[in-house]
Structure 1
Amino acid sequence: MSYQRSFVMVKPGIFRRKIVGEIISRMEKKRLDILAMKMIKISPKLAQHHYHEHVDKSFFKNLLSYICSGEVLVMVVGGENAITQIRSLCGATKVEDAAAGSIRGDYAVSTTENVIHASDSPESAMREIDLFFRKEEIFAYNMDISQ
Structure 2
Amino acid sequence: MMKKLLALLVVLFGLVALVGCAGGGTTTNQANDVIDTLEEDGYVLETRDEDSREYYQANMVNTKYGLDVDVTELYVGYVNGNERWVEIVVLKNSTQATEFYDELMLEATSGRFVVKLESVVIITFSEATANLFTSKS
Q: TM-score, normalised by structure 2?
A: 0.38
Q: Please state which structure has a larger fraction of its residues in helix.
A: 2
| Structure possessing the higher relative contact order (Cα contacts under 8 Å, 6 or more residues apart) | 1
Output the TM-score relative to the length of structure 1: 0.36
Larger Rg: 2
